[in-house]
Chains A and B, each alone.
Chain A
Amino acid sequence: MPATEASARRTRHLRLVVRYAVLIGAAAIVLFPIYITIVDALLTPQQITHRPPTLFPTDPQWNTFVTAFRQGSLGIYLRNSAIVTFAVVALEVTTSVLAAYAFVFLKFPARKILFFACLATLMVPGEATLIPNYQTINGLGLLNTFPSLILPFVASGIGIFLFRQAFLGFPPELRDAAQLDGCGHLKFLFRIVAPINRSVIAAFALFAFLSAWNQYLWPLVVTQTDSVRTVQIGLRQLSGANFSQFNVVFAGTILAALPIAILLLLFQRQLVAGLTAGAVKG
């Protein structure tokens, strides 16, 4: 009957409207602090403390970003963070892919035990390894250098675990077929396994990027000079600046978070695909 059909369609529409309203509300709650950070960066300190708060800058102070960049020496800190982060991500992904490949496709003694040893590293909080790592880096004579910021993070238990789970979904028959065609391990890994799992790899690389970029404690402890210090330390210095310069602090915060935001936008598709990759595999 057309009447019931129409009412069913109305219910469907209503449901859609409610669903979107809830989603928009949730998005607003998540985005509002970020929006306010951007707005406050563009206001004068007087406007920031003014009540009721200004929600839209009528006279945006773009030069605040220049002030933050110069005053916080963010140029050198961002450069250092970029060097460290790219090195960490590249090495971490490489070692994790190689190790995961070995755990899945190679047969060797104590394979299970070694894998569990890798898993066990996930249970140790970073703070607990602070002093042993410091002593190792000091023993190698590497304090206050870029390698000191990179070396402790070039292997990752979580990366090995994630990639192993992804590679396990790979049909062993294909490996056998490839071997028959004379395809060696490295060729097989880089030509077939890695490209197929690129969304998982991209997702992990992004997470590795986030954690490397946001590091604070370790860089603080092993570095002494601005020439190797990273942006989070620079940002803390900037934020220690002044009671009356909220806008500069906000601007610096945005500048430091910008690379991450850009990467997230670029890799959003891979990220979502990577996170749900395991869910659809039979």
Chain B
Amino acid sequence: MGDDDREPLSAVGISALTDGPAFTRRDLLRSAAAVGVGAGVGLLLPGVAEAKSKFPIGAATRSKSKPVSITMWHSMTEANLQTLQKLTDQFHRSQKNVRVNLVGQNSYTDTLTAYTTALSAGTSKLPDVLQWETSLIQLLIDSQSVVPVGSAVAADHYSLGDYVPSMLNYFRVNGTLWAMPFNISSQVLYYDQNVLVKAGLDPTKPPTTLNGLRTAAKKIVSSGAAKYGMSLKGAPATFELFMSLGNKTVVNHSNGRKGRATAVTFDDALGRSIFSWWSGMLNDKLAQETAPTGTGVYDNLLAIGSGIAPMTLDTSAALGTILVVLTQKQYANVKLGVGPIPSPGSKPAKSGGVFIGGAGLYIVKKSAAHQDAAWQFIKFLTSPDQQATWAVGTGYVPVRKASLSNPTLSKAWNSVPGYRVPYQQLLSSPVNPACAGYVSGAANQIDTAIQNALAALANGTPAKQALNEAASAANSAIRSYNQRV
């Protein structure tokens, strides 16, 4: 489950008692980013283009010392971890050649720190399979420590036809498929149908555009159905999704996919209109701002429960948790609705689409037998039936189209139609650079710049100024990263 599109559920209510003076989450992020760029990337020598070398298909099966024992680093907890363990047990029963040891690293941020530190000691201490947050893809590519999944696909003559195209699209950089989509989510519109009815709106037709959202919010506020129309959580991914829904890139060189990005492109007409909309919603008291990180990450969802603001945008990965909370009856007045994320402007997106959140599975550059073993496990985890089990157990979107004909999945989805929404919007997203989402080694800093700008809007900074400041902060982060690579 995620606290935004790019984080597993973590750090709920860790109090001052344990966070202590020793280390805060922000310190961790900062040091992790520094470690990632400084050590993970800078210290390693440039290598040979991996896609051209032949992937060692069958090396694990041919290995003399069987079973080949591999390690997977993951960031899953609770129900997600239990489901991952279940799938791993299934994998062990299905064959005798490979044994997988799951190692939890708590969160994507912690995985980044642990991986980049281990990288400083060469590849021997690295895992064989790595679950790695989507937005950090370029950092990992630049570390030269992973083998593109695409080379395994080619050597294995493995068909990708059944995978959801927009998901593969995310992991393609310069034509190379670097990872397999595994735990995938997307942002959706959550709303309380009861409040919409009270405001005279049709609860089966939630707003599909930003203008529509504004109109609906106005009706909710003026009818007195709720204090605010919606909560706006200042998550950078939300802004970036609006850009891709408008079919515009966030950084240049086709979102960093046809060459290393050298500057941002989000400070264009569309970016300005999104920022104006955002600032207008807050200034006109149609929306309340909620925090994208820290202890307030669920405030937007809790505001639906408490009736303060009946609509919000958040990751689909939160749906399972929301449903659990709703069954506990403390929010008996809420009738949850789930709609696609609205697109900018006044007409639903025609050419644009959404990119994924979550994480992909990478094969780390280890011995031939280990690479092949890693590939076998990844293939297994992303098979249709396993992805159906995964989706039902976790709330993530299945990465295989064939998963939908799995009876367990269709039963679960029929009882909660909201689960179809993120899948449908990812399935209908076109395969092009704008809708792929952006890649840059400075992604963490670019996201921070956008996040700061969205927070500035809440403090009354004019939209144009906030956007310009975000662009120049992001540009200098990109320059600084590119100089170091």
Do A and B form a real pair?
yes
Chain A interface residues toward B at CB < 8 A? 33-34, 37, 45-46, 49-51, 127, 130-131, 134-135, 138, 143, 210-211, 214-217, 220-221, 224-225, 232-233, 235-237, 239-244, 246, 249-250, 253-254, 256-257
Chain A residue numbers with a CB within 8 Å of B324 are 242-244
B35 at the interface (CB under 8 A from A): yes
Q: Which of B10-18, B375-383, B419-427 contacts A (4 or more CB under 8 A)?
A: B10-18
Q: Is B28 among interface residues, defined by CB-CB distance under 8 A?
A: yes
Main secondary structure of the interface of A (DSSP, over half): helix
CA distance A232 to B24 in the complex (A): 12
Minimum distance in angstroms from B355 CB to a CB of chain A:
25
In the complex, the answer to whether B113 meets A131 with C-beta atoms within 8 Å is no
Given contacts A217-B23, A240-B9, A243-B1, 14 further A-B contacts (CB under 8 A): A45-B330, A49-B302, A50-B330, A127-B31, A134-B121, A214-B18, A214-B20, A235-B14, A240-B12, A240-B106, A244-B328, A249-B13, A250-B15, A253-B14
Q: Is B404 an interface residue (CB 8 A)?
A: no
A239 near B11 with CB under 8 A, answer yes
Chain B residues engaging chain A, CB cutoff 8 angstroms:
1, 8-18, 20-23, 27-28, 31, 34-35, 39, 71, 77-79, 103-107, 110, 113-114, 117-118, 120-121, 125, 298, 302, 305-306, 318, 321-322, 324-325, 328-330
Are A135 and B330 closer than 8 Å at their CB atoms? no
| Bound-complex Cα distance A220 to B31 (A) | 14
Shortest 8 CB-CB contacts between residues of A and residues of B: A240-B77, A243-B321, A127-B31, A138-B121, A46-B330, A214-B22, A214-B20, A257-B17
B51 CB to closest chain A CB (Å) equals 29
- Cα distance A127–B121 in the bound complex, in angstroms: 16
Measured CB to CB, the nearest residue on chain A to B325 is A244
With a 10 A CB-CB cut-off, give which of B16, B17, B103 has the most chain A CB atoms. Answer: B17
Within 8 Å by CB of B17, from A34, A135, A221, lies A34
| B295 → chain A closest CB, angstroms | 11
Q: Which of B22, B71, B114, B318 has the most CB of A within 10 A?
A: B22
Known contacts A46-B328, A134-B120; A33 and B16 CB within 8 A of each other: yes
Residue of B nearest to A139 (CB): B121
- Assess the A33–B15 pair: CB atoms within 8 A: yes
CA distance A257 to B15 in the complex (A): 10
Q: Which residue of A lies closest to B75 (CB)?
A: A240
Write the nearest CB–CB distance from B450 to chain A, whole angstroms: 25
A220 touches B78 (CB 8 A): no
Q: Which residue of A lies closest to B326 (CB)?
A: A244
Name the A residues within 8 Å of B329 (CB-CB): 46
Which one of B8, B78, B103 has the highest number of Cβ atoms from chain A below 10 Å of its Cβ? B78
Cross-chain contact B20 with A239 (CB below 8 angstroms): no
Min CB–CB distance B165 → chain A (angstroms): 31
Q: Complex formed: what's the CA distance from A134 to B31 in Å? A: 15
Cβ–Cβ < 8 Å partners of B321 in chain A: 242-244
> What are 6 contact pairs spanning A and B, CB under 8 A?
A46-B329, A135-B121, A211-B22, A241-B12, A243-B9, A243-B321
Contact A240/B107 with A50-B330, A51-B306, A130-B31 known, Cβ cut-off 8 Å: yes
Contact A131 B120 (CB under 8 A): yes
**A221 with B117: in contact, given A237-B104, A240-B8 (CB under 8 Å)?**
yes
Contact of B14 among A127, A135, A239, A254 (CB under 8 A): A239
Q: How far is the CB of A127 from chain B (nearest CB, A)?
A: 4
